[in-house]
Every structure is written in C-alpha cells, then in structure tokens.
Structure 1
C-alpha cells in the first residue's frame, strides 16, 4: 500500500502494458458499499492477467469516514469541492490530491451510495462530454458496468470528481447503489463485478464483459441534470413515510408519501414533480423543510443518439 499525505491507495500493476484505471470510493464518509467493494478488488484483480495498472482508493475522505458523516470536519461536501486547493481546508486539500490522482489516470470510476439518509437504486452515470470520443468511451464504460439504469447528464456541474476528470480529458463514470446506513452485500459484490467488467471492456483483462439487460438508458443535457438533491423537496419538517419504492414508476402528481407533524395531527402529502422511475428515496424518517425526499429519473428523455457498444 502506498500513501499520499491524505489519501491511502492500493496500486496493482499488471505484467502487460496498458492503461491506468483509478477507482474511488468513500468520497462521502458515510457510503460503505463502495469501500467494501474496492477492498475486495485487491483480491480479485490478478496482476498476471492484468494489462496496465489499477489504483484503488477505498476511502478518499478519511476524516468524514471517521465522523460517520457525509462531510469532513470543515463541513464541506468533498463532491462539491474539486479541484480543491493544496493549502485550503482539509476537504480542499483532499480534493486537490484526488484531482492529482485523476489527472494521472487514463480512466476513472467513482462509486457512491445514498449515505446514511437515503437509499439509491443501482445505476451508472457519466457527463455528456463535448468531446465525442470521450463521450463514447464513457457510454461504453457505463453500459459495461452492468446496472439496470444508465444516465448521461449535464457536463456543466462543477466541484465533482467527474468535473475534474472532464477538465483533464479523462473518461469517467460514477455509480450509485444502496445506502441507508447499511452495507448491502449485493451492492458490494455488484460493484466489484461492475468494475471488473469495465476493466474487460477497456481491454485490461480478458474476462467477459457483463451483458445484463439495461432497462433505461437516458441522456439529459439540461443544466442541472444529475444533481440528485435538487428534486422533490420537503415543504415542511416532520416524519416522512414514503408511499413508493425504488424503481417504481410514477406520474407527475402521484403521491410519494406523507410528512406528519410531531403529534401526527398535521399530515402533508408529497406529490411527484416529474414522471419517471424512482431512483432514490430518503430512508431517514425525520426530514427538515427543503431537504430532498426522492430522485425521479424522467424516462421520457431521449436515449443516446448513437448506438453505443
């Protein structure tokens, strides 16, 4: 194991030349499935069968991990802090060092979950890069990951690992699966299998690429598409009880659940602001006014304009 001043990584070097793949987990300190999945990759990747190099970072944001929190002690969201600053606060320094790792790589996979407060359906995503070659590579990587939903979103979002990769010309994808303060075994194994499948698609190993059917492949180039926390906010504070499940389809105006007051004498029905499929749900019952409750993938958006492999 090699260590930067703030980020611990595992480097696996193959016996054949090839590209450098960087796999990140724990950008948020309360997202556990990626951490376990990336640790398992240390045992699953065989150097003698590998072409190129893989750098594994199970926990990018160790200060946040040690607080069991999304954010570190400076209360900055690392996924809004890239490219960071070498002389800034702890999150800014970590973002700076993570950006250096991204710039050293040929490809990036960044794994996430819903954290302590929410649960997310399995999906992979990428930004709609202006470089067509990079965009096609990202589509290929996201589809090879083998999850039921693939989502291409705005390239204009800033502060993220994918925006650092965008600026460096590094093809990059992210994935979401699980959360709710758990560590789902199926998400751990699915994440590990997805990473191995992407490696195969990139020619880094010869195991077959996953061919599980993709239920939705949506691309949405609107300015804030992909910003999960912007959707379906709570109009009041209180106890949230969802009326829908992950991957359930809803129409705009359908009930997403209710928020009741402390004594239960005031009940507010929450209605969907979009038509589509539920990708994320808040699992922590207490919600403050204006916090997000659900993520809806709008399924009437266009599919990719080209036939991606």
Structure 2
C-alpha cells in the first residue's frame, strides 16, 4: 500500500515535518488545507523537509465515509499490518511514514456526524523533552483550546509517534459534513506557525497576537477518547439541547433520544461540569454512540489545587 504524498525539500538542513489529513474519509478541511500548503510553502525559504499527505484514507474518502469498506477505524488500527485488510495496510504505511519524521501534525475534524470545538491535542508523553516539544507545537498552531490527554491509548497515529518518541499533535476543527473556509484557513496558518516555531520557515517580523488558549492537561485513563463520553442509551432520533462551546453543569440535559413516533424519550444528562467540546449533530444515532464530550474544567482545576 502506497500513500499519495507530496514532499517539499528546502535549500537548507532542518527537521522533517510530516502533516497528514484524511485519516478519516469524511473530514474535509484538512484535505483542502494540505493542498493549499503544497503551494504556500516556498522551498527557497524552507530549512528541512515537509511531507504532505492530503488524504491518508483514500478508500474511505471515495465512499464519503469515516472508514473504508472493511469497517475498521484507521485511528484505532495503527500500526497495522502489511498483509492485512485495506485499513490495516494503510495503517502500516502511515506508521512507517510517521517513524521517518522529526515532527508530526495530524489534522482532523468531526466528520459528517460530529462538530468539534477547534483544538490542538497531544498525549502526555512520559519523556519531558518530547512533551515540551508537543506543548510548543500546540501553542504555535494557534487554536483556542489545548488538550493534553491519556498517554496510554493505542491504535492511533499519535500512538505510533509516542512509541517512536516523535513530538506530535493532532487538531480538530468543527465538521458536520461541511467544508468550512475558516477551518481550512486556520489549518494552513497553524501548520505554518509550527514551521516557524521550529525553524523550518523564518519567523514573522510582526507575529500575530492572539488570546491565551485554554490549556487543560488530563492524564486520567480514557481522557481524549471522544467516542466513549455520554453514550446514547438506545438507538433513535437524537436532538441536542446544548450548543458547541456551551458551559454546562453536572445534571444539565445534553439531549434526548426518541423512537420514530416520539413515544419513548431517553434523556442524557451531563455527568460533570465543563465546556461542550464535541457534539453529535447527525440526528440518527446508534446505541452507545457518544452524544457529547465535555471538557471537565472544574475537576481539573480542583486536582491542580490539591
């Protein structure tokens, strides 16, 4: 299995940065942003090398779905197998490519069924040097939320980078089956920002001034696993009662799931206080599917004070 890549080699030595999009076939802003980066990066100004992969999971993209025909989630299949199913083969090729890099950025969105608040995330790596590099990357990317999470999760692109001690971040920016021009622009600017921070491109003479991001680091088991938060107790028609970015209190109603006639209504309540950073926006929902992720700010602040 060969990934479709575009490589830009600079005129001076420097790090090798890998940027990927389309790990899921229904996440479109990363694909558009990486295509723009192909022409936005001037090799004359570049120190080092940049490898760009606009669509890692081409079979899934052809279907317009999160996964390819084998139904495996590529973000749970790494490092994959060279002789496996189509997704396992893609995971193997992606993992091999990740191990060649010095820095890695994996761009995501909520796809067709979710909306995700713009954020940069990373695993809370046990190596302090790698962790600090990841913090620098996330800050340089410039999104309003920075989220460090459980370092033990497996199967992901960042799991491969973690095991190879390669500083890596992932990003999220909305979704909902759209191509948001603001998301595409933010991803182009963010990747260029990381490149300037790590010396691949010259720093700006007048750097943009942005607000201080909300930075949460949560090493509790399962933190960062977006698919297990506030699961739907049954299948049916989901209606959200909150909005993305809204602050909710423990016990607030996040939404309801009803049967086709509306005779049976299941109410889903917030398990803790915080900010809604992921929201299921596709009305059809299956049992155990996460309807929302809440960034548990109150618990995190309490832990910091103890």
Please give the TM-score of this superposition, normalised by the length of structure 1: 0.94
Which residue number corresponds to residue 110 of structure 1?
A: 106
Query: Aligned residue pairs: how many?
Result: 301
The correspondence of residues 112-131 of structure 1 with structure 2, limited to 5 A, is 112-131=108-127
Cα drift, residue 290 of structure 1: 1.2
Which residue number corresponds to residue 242 of structure 2?
A: 244
Which residue number corresponds to residue 230 of structure 2?
A: 232
Which residue number corresponds to residue 144 of structure 1?
A: 140
Residues 33 and 265 (structure 1 numbering): CA distance in 2 closer, same or farther, change over 3 Å?
same
Distance in 2 between residues matched to 1:105 and 1:93, nearest whole Å = 19
The correspondence of residues 1-309 of structure 1 with structure 2, limited to 5 A, is 5-208=1-204, 211-300=209-298, 301-302=300-301
Distance in 1 between residues matched to 2:13 and 2:147, nearest whole Å = 31
Distance in 2 between residues matched to 1:266 and 1:165, nearest whole Å = 45
Residues 238 and 179 (structure 1 numbering): CA distance in 2 closer, same or farther, change over 3 Å?
same
Maintained 8 Å contact 1:154/1:222: yes
Maintained 8 Å contact 1:200/1:207: yes
Cα drift, residue 97 of structure 1: 0.8
Residues 82 and 210 (structure 1 numbering): CA distance in 2 closer, same or farther, change over 3 Å?
farther
Maintained 8 Å contact 2:27/2:110: yes
Aligned Cα root-mean-square deviation (Å): 1.5
Distance in 1 between residues matched to 2:177 and 2:12, nearest whole Å = 40
3-state secondary structure, aligned to 2:173: strand
Residue-by-residue CA offset, 1:182-235 (whole Å, 9 max, x unaligned)? 111100010110000011111111143654223410000011110011101111
Cα drift, residue 302 of structure 1: 5.0
Cα drift, residue 303 of structure 1: 11
Cα drift, residue 258 of structure 1: 1.9
Cα drift, residue 236 of structure 1: 2.0
3-state secondary structure, aligned to 2:118: strand
Gaps of 5+ in 2: none
Maintained 8 Å contact 2:147/2:217: yes
Residues 210 and 295 (structure 1 numbering): CA distance in 2 closer, same or farther, change over 3 Å?
farther
Cα drift, residue 304 of structure 1: 12
Cα drift, residue 260 of structure 1: 2.3
Maintained 8 Å contact 2:123/2:149: yes
Distance in 2 between residues matched to 1:293 and 1:267, nearest whole Å = 15
Cα drift, residue 100 of structure 1: 1.1
Distance in 1 between residues matched to 2:137 and 2:303, nearest whole Å = 14
Distance in 2 between residues matched to 1:75 and 1:210, nearest whole Å = 42
Distance in 1 between residues matched to 2:18 and 2:303, nearest whole Å = 26
**4+ runs deviating over 4 angstroms:** 302-305
Residues 87 and 175 (structure 1 numbering): CA distance in 2 closer, same or farther, change over 3 Å?
same
Distance in 2 between residues matched to 1:92 and 1:272, nearest whole Å = 36
Maintained 8 Å contact 1:147/1:214: no
3-state secondary structure, aligned to 2:22: coil
Distance in 1 between residues matched to 2:182 and 2:99, nearest whole Å = 31
Distance in 1 between residues matched to 2:25 and 2:111, nearest whole Å = 8
